[in-house]
Structure 1
Amino acid sequence: MYLLGRGRARSLMGKVGLAAILTLSVATTPMMMNSISAKEATASEQADQIRVVIFADLGSQYKAIQSTVTLTSASGFQIGVQGDPWLNASANQSVKFGLDAYAVKVLETTDTREVNGVVNRLQAMKEAPSVMMVRRQGVATYQIVLGDYVSAAEASKVRDRVTTDASLAAYYKKDKPVITGNLHLGAGSYGSEQQAAAVQQKILDAGMDAYIAITKTGGGLQFAVWVGQAADQAELNALRNQAAQKLPGMSLQPVDASQMGLLARDNVTVGYANGSEPIPQYSMSGSAGAKLWINGSSSGIKLSERSNRSYRGSFEISAYNNRLALVNELPLEQYLYSVVAMEVSPSWPAESLKAQAVAARTYALFQGNKFKIGQVVDTTLSQAYYGMDKEHPNTNAAVEATAGLVMKVGGKLIEPVYSSNSGGKTADSSEIWGNKTSYLVSVDSPDDVAEKGLPYWYRVMLSDNTTGYVREDLVKDSGRKTDAGLPIYTITTDGTNLRDIPLIQADVKPVAIVNIGTEVVILDKTIQSNTMHWIRGPYTSDELVKAMSGKSKTPVGSSIARLEVSGRGPSDRVTEIKVNGQVFDVKNPDTLRSALNGLPSTRFDIEETGSYTILGANGATRTLASSNGKVQAVTSKGNAALNPGSNLIMGGHGQVHVITGEALYRFIGTGNGHGVGMSQWGAKGLADQGYDYQSILQYYYKDINLVKE
């Protein structure tokens, strides 16, 4: 591993083949914005930088846990503290970063076959092992490590699990897995790396772990050696006693645990068996306020753990809630380059892209320090942000054309929420989140542009009563009809899949596979499910009970015999449902989407296939379904059980309904997302009609002022 320090090449491995600890005197990185309530944020409080949380454990607010992050840049990057870079990673050099925390050392061995066996088994156990390399007596030795963990108790559970695993037990010839921690002994400070490396190697050859520590005092570098990784004070005392026996005459003193440093190792997780070059891995130690700053360049910094995406700006690495936290700090306008390109198609009309840019900018600034160590996160919990890789000239131009422009009401930033498709009518904020917001009201929206060019699908029934959907280009009209007047078509392609819904879902098994010439009865025709119109299901009672679990104050019971809409809002979105006659009491109406197995929106109807209602001549109705949910038919001989599969019932107006032998539930709806504020597809529809971006924003957000500051 070669890093550049103050303009000259410096080997941190030397001849010993072991990386060093980089110890810094670090000032806490200032936060970009004061801690303020998002609702009090104004455009005047905006900074030209934004902090995007990528990995962190923020509890119920946001949780994206990653033990290490791997950074690479085509032009290299600087490592240090904010405003004081003091080491450079070379071009295209991958470097791992993590925390000096609790871990489990599963095994140490010189046999790469054992490494292969243990790693494969740990991965099969859903663990994520790292393999580190040291040299003892000139021999490459591999340490297989799991972690980091927030506490010794958490690490202890992992240690016990891998210790008792029967497949791994055969590898524990001398030592069993042990917990390691962040307490170290110092073996002195030296004037050169070479002197420190010699002491380090002496300790390694004695069978103990040791690392070079680089400290920066004043304007120069000093080199020290740290020994061991004790998990508590008792282990640290035991480590000192061990050193007294193995290293007589060497003075060892406890290292100040608040001192920030980088405990560095050689990571050979990838390619350890074929001799690939190790990757340096630095585990940061020190107080809770310690922060490591990674300065980028015009080529960006690639983050392996986020699908190798490249990012503008810089990275801050710190510990939050005893977990690694990674924050990308960059200019706000450059952040918007990625967001706008991710949120809408760059091929859309320029005015719709500008509207999205203003909405995204205002939304980001409204957040304040919502996520404690940053204003936003990189997922749709805030706004989708994938770094430089998704930027596009069209969306970049939209950001630049609206630079600094935000939306206000009464002199304060609004929260300009938006969604993909409102299904023809946006939602009033009260029918989604239960609170009224003056500028978020229901309006008609031209969202049907999302369906342009999509194919239609037929809902069909096979001769064995199986029902499903087939795309229109895979069938042809036979010219014949059933006795009830329903068209009969034939399949035109071998291996045609019948789907539960009118959409190809690669991860969902088809309901049937049929071949050319198979006859099907046409029940209905609908457009392919999309962000405007969609169908979901059919779901069984058990599937819905599982999805509903924990989402209502009142348990739904073990089965569902009846599911109905009992309340709607101004945009016809569902605000309340009843399960078996009882209100399903959720936190807010939008929770119904996840409670009903992940529906795209709350603008839906429920089709209950396990029962049907008869309207009598006198206006009276009665629903037919037995107490156990099995549908009964009314015949000249009285009640009789229906076919256990699918049955057809034709209404008075010729509509065909599918009735199943058990209670199943289908959801037929419009829209995608919460539906409040601007509809992205609707914005495109308005732009197609000639609206400019100011008019689009004023259409979806009532009584706003567009302000450039």
Structure 2
Amino acid sequence: MNSAQAREDLPIRVGLSDSARQVTLRVSTGTPVEVLAPIGWQRLGQLSANTTLQVNYSQGQLKLNIQSDQQVYKGLRLGQTDQEGTLVGLNNTWYRGSLNLTPTARGITVVNEVPLEQYLYSVVPSEMPSSWPLEALKSQAVAARTYAISSLGSYRSKGYDVVATTASQVYLGVKSESNLSTQAVTQTNGEILTHAGKAIHAYFHSCSGGQTESGADLWAPFAYLKSVADYDQASPKHVWHTEMSQSEMKSKLAHLGVRVGDVLALSTVKRTSSGRVKTLQIWGKEGQKLVDGAKARVAFGLNSTFFNVGAIDARGELQKKPSPDSVPTTFQFAGRGWGHGLGMSQWGARQLALNGYAHRDILNHYYPSTQLGPLNKAQFRMAYNP
């Protein structure tokens, strides 16, 4: 992407930190530093490629150490979003675009403002192995671009659009970039998925265990998030097994506020349409308790809610029903899939690509009733600048 293309691209603001006490900035080539002083924004000077700039948080302001002289400011900008070839560094990580620093009550908020397509250069290989088939990577690029667009405004009160973790999408800067994943981004430049004229919530996950989840059974009751057959058999998490002891079970349940004494059994009260656990009943010597399946998954550290569980007694035999006279020593889980199961299965997309499907067909399978087309930049700017 040349500088003219970068200027035409749309910016996205990525929150890298909201509570830093100290950061070190660097650049790959000479880059201007701007600071917010009482009289407004002004150019402080040029940061060269062989130097660093240390910024500390001090009483609600940014304190800069420049040639033994400490100065304080209300904001700092490093780099230009559309400057081709220049990288900006935060501590030990390099990014494209620019870095904006603002002091808040919690510390230093650091935002990387970067062209959307260049943001995807990092996101796509951070979310999907760059060695996978190109059509799978192109599917990931479209899903990631669409997800970013639909997420605008999620962190507006903090001064950015998305974060760099799985709370939004994993973004690791230039170190995660690869030629093939960048090719996937450029070959799908500007493509997003829409439904009824709006960018969809393009959820994705590692693998579903053979059947994706219906959005109506979770938090996303959208027509395009239906339960569909998956092709993720090659995933190491297609099926999985794990177990935990009686003491481990009681400890994990305690984190959910569930205290029923010795645990006698866990039984499924309700499943979703795809077969995932929606409600789990805990049977104990001192009572019973209903637990949400998704919360149980997190507390137990399971790969998904697509599981069965059995209680094993001291003889190593599976107990058929709970009994206060026979306290299980172990609980065994047999499950399928990894993740929430909504939207595109990444391992399924990989297999479909290996089978010769184009990214358009892969996306149509996992997001039915959607349209693949160019991003409406006017709508994007309305969302970006409300």
TM > 0.5 between the two?
Answer: yes
Distance 2:128 2:218 in 1: 23
Q: Deviations over 1:167-207 (max 9, x none)?
A: xxxxxxxxxxxxxxx7xxxxxxxxxxxxxxxxxxxxxxxxx
Return the offset for 1:299: 4.0
Distance 2:109 2:76 in 1: 11
* TM-score for both structures, normalised by structure 2: 0.84
Return the offset for 1:407: 0.8
In structure 2, the partner of 1:551 is 256
Please give the secondary structure, in 2, of the residue aligned with 1:98: strand
Distance 1:667 1:427 in 2: 20
Change (3 A) 1:625 1:317: same
Distance 2:12 2:324 in 1: 60
The answer to whether 1:429 aligns with 2:236 is: no
Please give the secondary structure, in 1, of the residue aligned with 2:94: strand
Change (3 A) 1:613 1:399: closer
In structure 1, the partner of 2:183 is 397
In structure 2, the partner of 1:335 is 119
Please give the secondary structure, in 2, of the residue aligned with 1:584: strand
In structure 1, the partner of 2:358 is 692
* Residues 561 and 663, structure 1, Cα contact 8 Å, conserved in 2: no
In structure 2, the partner of 1:78 is 32
Runs of at least 4 residues off by over 6 Å: 279-283
* Residues 76 and 93, structure 1, Cα contact 8 Å, conserved in 2: no
Distance 2:104 2:291 in 1: 35
* Residues 534 and 668, structure 1, Cα contact 8 Å, conserved in 2: yes
In structure 2, the partner of 1:66 is 20
* Residues 283 and 322, structure 2, Cα contact 8 Å, conserved in 1: no
Return the offset for 1:396: 0.7
Amino acid at match of 1:601: S
Change (3 A) 1:95 1:608: same
Please give the secondary structure, in 2, of the residue aligned with 1:449: coil
Return the offset for 1:283: 7.3
Identity of aligned residues (%): 32
Distance 1:322 1:426 in 2: 40
Amino acid at match of 1:390: S
601, 606, 625: which is aligned to 2:309? 606
- Please identify, of 353-362 and 341-350, the stretch whose mean Cα deviation from structure 2 is larger: 341-350
Which residues of 2 match residues 340-355 of structure 1 at below 5 A? 340-355=124-139
Distance 1:280 1:385 in 2: 34
Distance 2:166 2:182 in 1: 20
Q: Deviations over 1:617-665 (max 9, x none)?
A: xxxxx64855361xxxxxxxxxxxxxxxxxxxxxxxxxxxxxxxx5211
Amino acid at match of 1:570: S
Amino acid at match of 2:176: K
Amino acid at match of 1:316: N
Distance 1:301 1:96 in 2: 14
Return the offset for 1:282: 6.3
Which residues of 2 match residues 288-687 of structure 1 at below 5 A? 290-295=74-79, 298-304=85-91, 308-372=92-156, 373-433=159-219, 435-450=220-235, 530-537=236-243, 539-551=244-256, 555-580=258-283, 582-586=288-292, 589-596=293-300, 598-610=301-313, 612=317, 623=321, 627=325, 629=327, 662-687=328-353
Please give the secondary structure, in 1, of the residue aligned with 2:233: helix
CA RMSD in angstroms comes to 2.6
Return the offset for 1:543: 2.0
Return the offset for 1:342: 0.9
In structure 2, the partner of 1:41 is none
Return the offset for 1:78: 2.3
Return the offset for 1:600: 0.8
Amino acid at match of 2:295: T
Return the offset for 1:572: 1.2
* Residues 245 and 331, structure 2, Cα contact 8 Å, conserved in 1: yes
The answer to whether 1:49 aligns with 2:11 is: yes
The answer to whether 1:95 aligns with 2:53 is: yes
Please give the secondary structure, in 2, of the residue aligned with 1:354: helix
Distance 1:294 1:558 in 2: 57
In structure 1, the partner of 2:382 is none
Amino acid at match of 1:676: L
Amino acid at match of 2:63: L
Distance 2:366 2:53 in 1: 46
Return the offset for 1:444: 0.7
Distance 1:623 1:432 in 2: 29
Please give the secondary structure, in 1, of the residue aligned with 2:210: coil
Distance 1:322 1:80 in 2: 22
Q: Where in structure 2 are there 5+ consecutive unaligned residues?
A: 1-7, 376-386
* Residues 55 and 65, structure 2, Cα contact 8 Å, conserved in 1: no
Return the offset for 1:85: 3.5
Amino acid at match of 1:379: T
Change (3 A) 1:613 1:367: closer
Amino acid at match of 2:25: L
Please give the secondary structure, in 2, of the residue aligned with 1:357: helix
Distance 1:679 1:438 in 2: 17
* Residues 264 and 322, structure 2, Cα contact 8 Å, conserved in 1: no
Which residues of 2 match residues 15-34 of structure 1 at below 5 A? none
Change (3 A) 1:687 1:414: same
Return the offset for 1:369: 1.6
Distance 1:557 1:319 in 2: 47
Please give the secondary structure, in 1, of the residue aligned with 2:234: helix
* Residues 280 and 290, structure 2, Cα contact 8 Å, conserved in 1: yes
Return the offset for 1:318: 0.5
Please give the secondary structure, in 2, of the residue aligned with 1:590: helix
Return the offset for 1:687: 0.9
Distance 2:102 2:168 in 1: 21
Distance 1:438 1:363 in 2: 16
Amino acid at match of 1:697: L
Change (3 A) 1:284 1:50: farther
Count residues in correspondence.
354
Amino acid at match of 1:704: T
Change (3 A) 1:703 1:311: same
* Residues 96 and 282, structure 1, Cα contact 8 Å, conserved in 2: no
Distance 1:85 1:332 in 2: 26
Q: Where in structure 1 are there 5+ consecutive unaligned residues?
A: 1-45, 57-64, 102-181, 183-259, 267-278, 451-529, 615-621, 630-661
Return the offset for 1:544: 2.5
* Residues 99 and 284, structure 1, Cα contact 8 Å, conserved in 2: no
Distance 2:72 2:326 in 1: 61
Distance 1:66 1:558 in 2: 43
Change (3 A) 1:87 1:423: same
Amino acid at match of 1:436: P
* Residues 97 and 282, structure 1, Cα contact 8 Å, conserved in 2: no
* Residues 210 and 238, structure 2, Cα contact 8 Å, conserved in 1: yes
